[in-house]
């Protein structure tokens, strides 16, 4: 069983890497359309959001299916969200801004869609940097509070996408609905847990 699980993790890792390899191939052979830089920026951003939502879906899937080992995939999938977000930023700096460093802060300050996108990226960096077992131990309860910011990152990423795809909101509606569903599940679960604890341990919760 451990062997099969390790094989499964490798398969998930390879599948998560395929979009990057496909985009790399497309850039090499010139199959990304009339504006390859724009296509790269859009697709890396989309894949970052997709992996962020997949990582958020791991906990509900684990709880609903009873497959507790799924939780071990959450960190890897979250890091892939950061990986594609980093590629998204790199494409912006390399092809769209052309390494004009003097304009970076100006863009962040004056263009709202870049501001919210950059804030989402900073949150993902913070979450990625504190995702190790050592950081979980060091931060203790603060780790959970910090990692709740993942929903803020998803919301900012959706807003970033909304500003970019003003003519076609299909992606925003789809990903926004998934985000709302995942957030709704989290809120329902938290409310159910509070009710359960109050009924089971009334004295400890101040209810008599």
pLDDT in tens, 176-187: 999 999 999 888
- Closest C-alpha among 47, 25, 27 to residue 37: 27
Q: Is 202 part of a structural domain of the chain?
A: no
Domain count along the chain: 1
- Greater confidence (66 vs 119) lies with 119
pLDDT at 207: 43
In a domain, 188, yes or no: no
Please report whether residue 168 resides in a domain.
yes
Per-residue confidence at 14, pLDDT binned at 50, 70, 90? very high
φ and ψ at residue 30, rounded to 5 degrees = 75, 35
Residue 164 resides in a domain: yes
- Closest of 79, 63, 61, 70 to residue 132, by C-alpha: 79
- Residue 51 confidence (pLDDT): 97
Structural domain of 44? 2-179
What is the predicted pLDDT for the residue at 5?
A: 83
Give the tens place of pLDDT for each residue, 30-53. 899 888 999 999 999 999 999 999
Report d(CA 174, CA 196) in Å as an integer: 33
Task: Assess if residue 189 is contained within a domain.
Answer: no
Query: Tens digits of per-residue pLDDT, 66-113?
Result: 888 888 899 999 999 999 999 999 999 898 788 887 777 787 777 888
CA-CA distance, 67 to 58, in Å (whole number)?
Answer: 10
Write down the pLDDT at residue 43: 95
Residue 204 lies in a domain: no
- Grade residue 166 by pLDDT with cuts at 50, 70 and 90: confident
**pLDDT at residue number 208:** 38
| Percentage of the chain exceeding pLDDT 90 | 50
193 within domain boundaries: no
pLDDT at 133 over 60: yes
Contacts for 36 with CB less than 8 Å, ≥ 6 apart: 26, 27, 30
Alpha helices, H only, 30-169? 36-65, 74-91, 104-110, 112-129, 133-139, 141-147, 149-164
pTM summary value: 0.88
Residue 204: what pLDDT? 53
Residue 83 lies in a domain: yes
């Amino acid at each position: 069983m451990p062997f099969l699980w390790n094989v499964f993790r490798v398969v998930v890792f390879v599948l998560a890497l395929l979009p990057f390899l496909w985009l790399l191939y497309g850039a090499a052979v010139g199959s990304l359309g009339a504006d390859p830089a724009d296509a790269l920026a859009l697709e890396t951003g989309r894949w970052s959001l997709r992996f962020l939502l997949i990582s958020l879906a791991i906990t509900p899937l684990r709880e609903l299916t009873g497959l507790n080992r799924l939780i071990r995939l959450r960190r890897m999938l979250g890091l892939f969200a950061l990986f594609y977000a980093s590629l998204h930023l790199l494409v912006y700096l390399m092809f769209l801004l052309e390494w004009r460093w003097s304009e970076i802060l100006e863009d962040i300050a004056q263009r709202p869609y870049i501001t919210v996108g950059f804030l989402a990226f900073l949150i993902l960096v913070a979450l990625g940097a504190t995702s190790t077992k050592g950081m979980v131990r060091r931060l203790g309860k603060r780790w959970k509070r910090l990692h709740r910011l993942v929903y803020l990152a998803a919301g900012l990423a959706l807003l970033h996408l909304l500003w970019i795809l003003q003519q076609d909101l299909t992606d925003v509606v789809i990903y926004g609905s998934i985000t709302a569903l995942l957030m709704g599940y989290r809120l329902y679960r938290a409310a159910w847990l509070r009710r359960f604890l109050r009924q089971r341990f009334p004295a400890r919760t101040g209810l008599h």
